[in-house]
Amino acid sequence: MKTNGKIYRISGPVVIISGLNTRMYDVVKVGNEGLMGEVIGIEGDKSTVQVYEETSGIRPGEPVENTGMPLSVELGPGLLESIYDGIQHPLPVLKTTMGDFIKRGVFADGLSRQKQWEFVPTAKKGDKVKGGDILGTVQETQNIEHRIMVPPDVSGTIEEIKKGKFKVDEIVCTLSGGKKLTMMQKWPVRKPRPVARKLTPNKPLITGQRILDGLFPVAKGGTSAIPGPFGSVKTVTQQQLAKWSDTEIVVYIGCGERGNEMADVLNEFPELEDPKTGRPLMERTVLIANTSNMPVAAREASVYTGITIAEYYRDMGYDVSLMADSTSRWAEAMREISSRLEEMPGEEGYPAYLAARLSEFYERSGRVQSLCGKEGSITVIGAVSPPGGDFSEPITQNTLRIVKVFWALDAKLAQRRHFPAINWLNSYSLYTKALGDWYKENVSPEWLKLRDDAMELLQKESELQEIVQLVGSDALPEDQQLTLEIARMIREYFLQQNAYHEVDTFCPMDKQYKLLKAITTWGTRAQSALESGVQIEDIMKSKTKDDLAKIKYEKDFEAALGVVLKNMDEEFKKLGGR
């Protein structure tokens, strides 16, 4: 295969090269500076390359070299606590060598070649191993054990396995036939890593956010979208999910976000404390930063880089949550490259294959049994940034066809200081029934009924609000006035949550159940009192109604709830309610 050619034509990040034998998705080095690019089209002796770096200044006739390898990431100890760009260049390493501005054509290894790791073998000489089997372990961070696995396409009998401190590229195991294994493996980002089998997503991802866990749960291994306009607090919501969701590993992809927003994330994430361990959250996090002023081709690749790293930890048997913020910017990168390729545009100029690419990405989620026999999962939570908050635009609509959970952020709720600003009338979850058995066993047999009753009340409130806007709430029958009040309590006491309050920032499922049950109990007692002839004004003066608003902030929730329930019983007995 001919490995050298030259530049024929340039159009932004898209470069046509000639005189080079290539295969689809080969990585090539373009121009005198050796800019990294990927073959995305071949016609005759000409190949189309998308370049992952700024192409200004290069010109036709400059040399092009084919590496013969697809775009791949390095997988091994050292991924956690790292901050990468879209093609796995470690940004802190680049900063130490070139300052605040990244120069072109500079290469840095994804994993450090200097750091040594303590390798403890769990396999022994004479063992037959196959792809995915665990050879040994490395303590990557204080609480995460990195399991060194046989690459998926390798098998054989162990002839030698070493113990001690090694660099990631040093040989730790030799198989029959002379195959030598290191602690690091490379994997093409566009190729999903194989698994033994996919499992049913029947366990919820507990986030500690009441509106998510209570009304619109996502399963471990599930898919969710958070679409919302500017100012609807998407990033804070994703940070809450990263901090509190019950997964061991977090992969956060900042895909095409504004530089100042990404800077906030990069500054705040290292400061966040992991509530499970008290250690820095970064010790179980991989950050991929690709801001809007970085080359669009690298933005397109960043999503694949992130999901491949997530699959690697899933294969070890870990639960991984992947945050993609945002898939809209990823789609915009596809649109720009597609237009430069002069492809036939689809709706709003996006490429015709937009839906297929989104599907390929989200389908790499799932709860699986990995090749080593362990159970792991990837839960994908994709933020969508529809222009002007228009949910009818192509990215939001195509995402909705794929994902099973839709958390619709609403700027109007954010303006009213209702957080999380998720609109309960527009959101939905298709996992609720599949998770029903788990809720019955681990929360309460009546949890789903409580949830359904709460949703029904919120729907009724929405319908009644249209009448209230015309005639006022006082003109409504008393039973409807009470319905509005109970719905308000559900909204303000249960759905509203303070991310910055030390107690309210996280709400376990048991507390969620008891809080919603207490609100529902007050509603039931109030309706009984109304039917017994008690005046609505007397019911509305209830002191325990106001006390219910405060108990979610109490450190000793159980004691506070017991007092409120006892007072509620006495209060309604005085009113004459049943």
Helix axes 543-550, 557-575, angle to 10 degrees: 170
Mean pLDDT of 399-404: 94
Could you tell me what percent of the chain has a pLDDT over 70?
99
Euclidean distance between CA atoms 125 and 105, whole angstroms: 43
In this structure, the answer to whether residues 61 and 131 fall within a common structural domain is no
Examine residue 373 and state whether it is found in any structural domain, yes or no.
yes
Do the domain assignments include residue 89?
A: no
Give tens-digit pLDDT for 195-231. Answer: 999 999 999 999 999 999 999 999 999 999 998 877 6
Kindly tell me if the per-residue pLDDT of 578 is higher than 80: no
Convert the pLDDT of each residue in 152-199 to its tens digit.
999 999 999 999 999 999 999 999 988 999 999 999 999 999 999 999
Q: Does residue 53 fall inside a structural domain? A: yes
228-243 residue pLDDT tens:
877 677 777 887 888 8
Instruction: Judge if 347 and 495 occupy the same domain.
Output: no
**Residues 61-73: what's their mean pLDDT?**
94
Between the two ends of the chain, the Cα-to-Cα distance in Å is 87
**What letter would DSSP give residue 193?**
P
3-state SS class at 147: strand
CA distance 284 to 382: 19
Integer Cα distance of 224 and 90 in angstroms: 28
- Which residue, of 18, 52, 70, is where some domain finishes? 70
Q: Residue range 120-129: average pLDDT?
A: 95
State what percent of residues in the chain have pLDDT above 90.
72
**Is the same domain home to 178 and 242?**
no
To which residue do tokens 């500076």 refer? Answer: 33
Condensed to tens digits (0 to 9), the pLDDT of residues 317-341 reads 999 999 998 899 899 989 989 998 8
Over residues 286-305, the pLDDT tens digits come to 999 887 777 788 888 899 99
CB-CB contact of 217 with 431 (8 Å): yes
The verdict on 176 and 207 lying in the same domain is no
Is the pLDDT confidence value at 99 over 90?
Answer: no
Average pLDDT over residues 39-50: 92
Check residue 265 and give its pLDDT: 74
Amino acid at 153: D
Domain membership of residue 176 as a residue range:
114-183
- The whole-number pLDDT of residue 268 equals 75
Q: Determine the Cα–Cα distance for residues 210 and 492; give it in Å rounded to an integer.
A: 11
> Which residues make beta-bridge pairs with 230?
none
Q: In terms of residues, how long is the chain? A: 578
320 lies in a domain?
Answer: yes
The CATH number that applies at residue 128 is 2.40.50.100
Domain-located, residue 91: no
CA gap 406, 397 in Å, rounded: 11
Which pLDDT band, with edges at 50, 70 and 90, does 314 fall under? very high
Contact at 8 Å (CB) between 320 and 379?
Answer: yes
Domain boundary among 430, 459, 491: 430
Residues 214 and 291 in one domain: yes
Task: Give tens-digit pLDDT for 462-482.
Answer: 999 888 888 888 888 999 999
| Residue that is last in its domain, among 183, 212, 233 | 183
* pLDDT value at 399 more than 90: yes
pLDDT at 508: 93
Give the pairing type, strands 26-30 and 63-70: antiparallel
Running DSSP on this structure, what letter comes out for residue 344? P
Label residue 105 by pLDDT band (50, 70, 90).
confident
- β pairing state of 197-199 and 366-369: antiparallel
Classify strands 249-255 and 285-290 as parallel, antiparallel or unpaired: parallel
In a domain, 242, yes or no: yes
> CATH number of the domain that 9 lies in?
2.40.30.20
288's tokens: 């991929």
Instruction: Judge if 461 and 523 occupy the same domain.
Output: yes
The first and second tokens of residue 123, run together, are 């396999």
pLDDT-based confidence at residue 269 (cuts at 50, 70, 90): confident
At residue 2, the pLDDT reads: 57
Same domain, residue pair 314 and 419: yes
Confidence (pLDDT) at 170: 96
Mean pLDDT over 35-55 rounds to 92
In this structure, the answer to whether residues 326 and 379 fall within a common structural domain is yes
CA-wise closest residue to 240 among 462, 66, 409: 409
pLDDT at 371 over 60: yes
Q: What is the pLDDT of residue 155?
A: 93
> Is the pLDDT assigned to residue 79 strictly greater than 90?
yes
Examine residue 87 and state whether it is found in any structural domain, yes or no: no
What tokens does 562 get? 């017991």
- The total domain count for the chain is 4
Q: Distance of CA 212 to CAs 204, 243, 405, 509, Å? A: 10, 14, 10, 11
Cβ partners under 8 Å of residue 116, min gap 6: 165, 166, 167
Of these ranges, 91-105, 305-319, 407-421, the one predicted with the greatest mean pLDDT is: 305-319
309 and 203 fall within a common domain: yes
**For residue 45, is pLDDT > 80?**
yes
Q: What is the CATH number of the domain that holds 223?
A: 3.40.50.300
Indicate if 169 and 219 belong to the same structural domain: no
Note whether 366 and 312 are same-domain residues. yes
Give the number of C-alpha atoms closer than 13 A to the C-alpha of residue 491, restricted to the C-beta side: 22
Q: What's the CATH code of the domain at 554?
A: 1.10.1140.10
Distance, in Å, from the CA atom of 172 to the CA atom of 150, rounded to the nearest integer, reads 11
Residues 156 and 295 in one domain: no
Is residue 568 one of the residues assigned to a domain? yes
Give the angle subtended at the CA of 320 by the CAs of 306 and 299, to the nearest 5°. 15
Residues 500-523 have a mean pLDDT of 95
